[in-house]
A and B are shown apart, each in its own frame.
Chain A
Amino acid sequence: MARVLLEDLKPGMSLGKPVYTLQGVLLIRGGEVLTERHLQMFRSWGIEEADVATGGAEQTETPEGGGEQAVPAGLLASAQAEIAHRFRHADADADPAMTEIRRQAALRLAQHKRLQQGPAPLPAQETA
């Protein structure tokens, strides 16, 4: 965390602590990523400095690693097939960003399918 003067604050920085007006009214929550609009608000409310999160300039991304094994393989395969059809015009193989969008869409669909199946199925039990 570092205290940064208004003139040095930039859009894209994320706040380490909430910002309050001089009257003590909460303006922006901690953790928010600053935009130009926030900076305008600081100027109009006379805020002169703010605490900015440091260490890894990037905001925290949640790596979605564990998603894949959390879903039964059969569900994932059927979700992948459905999504592949939805992406038939998109030429997703040609482009890493599109490949990732397709992968995430399939993961999310598989997770929804699992939720729709109701309570977590006990292994080797036939009743649905």
Chain B
Amino acid sequence: MAPRLETIVQHIGSLPTLPSVLLRVNDLVNNPKSSALQLSRVIMEDQALTVRLLRLVNSPFYGFPRRIATVTEALTILGFNQVRNLLLTVTVVDLLGAEETADFSPMRLWQHSVGTAVAGSLIAKRIGHEDREELFVAGLLHDVGKLVEFQVARKFFLQALQVVKVRDLLLRDAEQEVFGYSHDQVGRLLGEQWKLPVRLGEAIACHHRPDLAQAAKREAAIIHLADILSRALGLGSGGDDAVPPLSLEAWQRLRLPEASLAGLMKELEEQYEEAQGLLLQRAPTQPGSTEQLSHVS
């Protein structure tokens, strides 16, 4: 029998945790009394992270119109939340990377996730959402539940993929049959474990059921549509190759004109290439990456 949802949570404990730097950054960002100085000190303890943060904010993809030279500058210009989200962005792919297997390719899932991240950020821009970075991270993380299942209950996850193939179901429905729950629910639990902001956690948890969102109705609707656009264009693979139905409620909430879809999808394809290069093209596997885990304060 597949592990119960509660058991999966316990197993999440055996998954990589966020680097301690990120947990401390989280705490500081959530505390209104924190100062930029405190935050920058914590971030700069991790040299590699600092370098990657500055590389990202200065990349053409990020498109900030001038050079940001220091962490303090990033914090003052972009804001605390923004920097936290950027740190998450440069961390999670390495953290949850898994080896490729014949039946399932984590790399293709990351490609799909980067596509969803870019789409989320582009939709946010179109509708004038104030925090595009949050939607980028939400897109990047929306399917992490699948990686958790793959890592801690592989036999059952592969069984679900088999069901997808044989009976042509969407993976989410196959997961319901095999596990009794699906990756969006697992994603919610991981978000809680990582103490992600509520809105971010909900956007991940409700990307298939944006109607269930409470604090993050708009964000869940954005990621719901972003997932669809990323699949429509065949960017990577979410484990099934089909586009899920669009929630009418979510679509109406976004108030996007249908005529904007052409431009959105064109931009998505273009920016996807850049984002992919920036986030996914690294040394394929880094056996030494556990050093991040032992970095306990």
Contacts and interface: CB of A to CB of B under 8 A. Distances in A.
Given A28-B65, A33-B125, A35-B130, A63 B269 contact: no
A27 B283 CA distance: 34
Contact of B261 (A27, A83, A92, A97): A97
A105 interface: yes
Nearest to B170: A89
Contacts of B168: 88
Interface string B176-212: 0000000000000000000000000000000000000
Interface in B77-119: 77-79, 82
B234 A35 contact: no
Nearest to B260: A61
Nearest to B251: A97
A88 B65 contact: no
Interface in B243-297: 243-246, 248, 251, 256-263, 265-266, 269
A90 to B, nearest CB: 4
B214 to A, nearest CB: 21
Given A26-B66, A35-B132, A90-B243, A101 B263 contact: no
B228 interface: yes
Contacts of B234: 86, 105, 109
Given A62-B262, A101-B232, A89 B66 contact: no
B76 interface: yes
A120 to B, nearest CB: 20
B265 A89 contact: no
A11 B125 CA distance: 10
B261 A101 contact: yes
Nearest to B133: A37
Given A35-B132, A61-B260, A61-B263, A86 B65 contact: no
A46 interface: no
Nearest to A105: B232
A98 B246 contact: yes
A71 to B, nearest CB: 14
B82 A89 contact: no
B65 A29 contact: yes
B213 to A, nearest CB: 19
13 contacts: A25-B66, A27-B66, A34-B128, A35-B128, A35-B131, A37-B79, A58-B257, A61-B257, A86-B241, A90-B246, A101-B228, A101-B232, A101-B246
Interface of B: 65-66, 76-79, 82, 125-132, 168, 170, 228-229, 231-234, 241-246, 248, 251, 256-263, 265-266, 269
